[in-house]
């Protein structure tokens, strides 16, 4: 395991160096990536010019939610690049995954090390910027406990969406092409939890509470950070299960991933 970790860092180094070889292209990629987030957020902010609140939440409060989600999703998108289903499907088609099987190294570690999209820093940076902008609009009463819990919330979302990436990548063992339906959960899910979730219709909210428990990742922690009352009367622990939800999702998808590898080795493609 130690060995695999050392190799992971080396592979990461390879990725970083090759991406920084073309500095100008990298720079423009980062700018493009952050402008997408900026425009998305700007259009959201424009809505507030007219309606002032979204489901009772001010722009600052929504920005808090939005920034935290974008920041976390961006980190996930960077660290789990190798599992991005559209990329991983290509690797299966090209037979590059077979090359990984031929190396005496942990497979999961190798996939992590096979791609690391550094330009996601643009997304992460913009997410952070929106989150900090929120602090200028509203006064969040930060306590040591809240500050301590904040990284765990980010961690929870990174694990959760990373798990979705891994599950999506695993499905390509069967389908070869990445399936669009997965995007509903990854990108759609990300967009969904970037907004106050009580504004959605009941069925949708229930889907993302009981089937895919994404509501606990960002919305409930935000209720806690912003000292807002819980409109759904969940137990008081609800804001604090975010890291657990993330880890469980990740573990479940890793189990699925190992099952998928066994399937792949029995069928090939």
Partner 1 sequence: MITVQNLQKHFKLNKQYRGAWGSVRTLFSREYEVVKAVDDISFEVARGELVGYLGPNGAGKSTTIKMLTGLLVPSGGELAVNGRLPWRDRQAYVARIGAVFGQRTTLWWDLPVIESLELLQHIYHVPNGRFRQNLADFETMLELKPFLNTPVRSLSLGQRMRADLCAALLHDPDLLFLDEPTIGLDVVAKERIRQFIRHVNRERGTTVLLTTHDLSDVQKLCDRVLIIDRGKLLYDGSLDALQTRFGGRRELVVDLAEPYSDVSVAGATVVARENGRVTYQFTREEIGASELIGRLSQRFRIQDLAVREPDIEATVRRIYEERLLEN
DSSP character string of 172-219 = HHHHSSPPTHHHIIIIIHHHHHTS-GGGS-HHHHHIIIIIS-GGGTTH
**What x/- string results for residues 215 through 254 when contact with partner 1 is judged by CB under 8 A?**
----------------------------------------
Q: Are 120 and 29 in contact (CB under 8 A)?
A: no
Query: Of these, 105, 128, 212, 248, which contacts partner 1 (CB under 8 A)?
Result: 105
Nearest Cα residue to 4 out of 105, 111, 115: 105
- CB neighbour class for 172 (10 Å; exposed up to 12, middle 13-18, buried from 19): buried
> Is the CA virtual torsion 239, 242, 243, 245 positive or negative?
positive
In the list 174, 206, 231, 252, the residue contacting partner 1 (rule: CB under 8 A) is 174
Bridge partners, residue 57, by sequence: 54
Q: Which stretch binds partner 1 (CB under 8 A): 42-50, 174-182, 207-215, 235-243?
A: 174-182
Q: Which stretch binds partner 1 (CB under 8 A): 173-181, 216-224, 238-246, 247-255?
A: 173-181
Using CA atoms, how far apart are residues 80 and 127, in angstroms rounded to an integer?
18
Closest to partner 1 by CB, 72 vs 170, is 170
Residue 130: which of 4, 114, 138, 160 has the closest Cα?
Answer: 138
Binding of partner 1 by 118 (CB under 8 A): no
5 three-state secondary structure: helix
Residue in 47, 98, 147, 231 binding partner 1, rule: CB under 8 A = 98
Which residue in the set 18, 35, 53, 143 belongs to the binding site for partner 1 (CB under 8 A)? Answer: 18
Q: Considering the complex, state which of residue 67 and residue 85 has its C-beta at the smaller distance from partner 1.
A: 85
Kindly write out the interface string for residues 247-266 of this chain, putting x where it contacts partner 1 by CB under 8 A and - elsewhere. Answer: ------------------xx
Among 31, 101, 147, 199, binds partner 1 (CB under 8 A): 101
18/5 Cα distance (integer angstroms): 20
Q: Which residues bind partner 1 (CB under 8 A)?
A: 3, 6-7, 10-11, 14, 17-18, 21, 94-96, 98-99, 101-106, 171, 174-175, 177, 179-181, 265-268
């Amino acid at each position: 395991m130690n060995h695999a970790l050392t190799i992971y860092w080396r592979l990461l180094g390879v990725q970083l160096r090759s991406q920084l070889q073309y500095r100008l292209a990298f720079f423009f990629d980062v700018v493009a990536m952050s402008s997408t987030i900026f425009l998305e957020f700007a259009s959201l902010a424009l809505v507030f010019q007219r309606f002032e609140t979204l489901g009772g939440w001010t722009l600052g409060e929504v920005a808090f939610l939005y920034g935290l989600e974008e920041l976390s999703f961006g980190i996930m998108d960077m660290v789990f690049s190798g599992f991005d289903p559209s990329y991983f499907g290509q690797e299966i088609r090209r037979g590059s995954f077979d090359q990984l099987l031929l190396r005496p190294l942990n497979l999961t570690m190798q996939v992590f090390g096979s791609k690391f999209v550094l330009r996601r820093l643009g997304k992460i940076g913009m997410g952070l910027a929106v989150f900090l902008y929120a602090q200028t609009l509203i006064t969040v009463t930060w306590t040591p406990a809240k500050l301590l819990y904040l990284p765990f919330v980010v961690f929870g979302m990174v694990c959760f969406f990373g798990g979705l990436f891994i599950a999506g990548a695993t499905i390509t063992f069967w389908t070869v092409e990445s399936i669009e339906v997965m995007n509903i959960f990854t990108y759609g899910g990300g967009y969904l939890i970037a907004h106050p979730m009580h504004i959605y219709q009941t069925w949708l909210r229930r889907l993302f509470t009981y089937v895919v428990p994404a509501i606990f990742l960002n919305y409930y922690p935000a209720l806690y950070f912003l000292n807002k009352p819980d409109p759904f009367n969940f137990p008081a622990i609800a804001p604090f299960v975010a890291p657990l939800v993330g880890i469980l999702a990740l573990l479940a998808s890793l189990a699925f991933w190992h099952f998928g590898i066994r399937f792949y080795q029995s069928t090939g493609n």
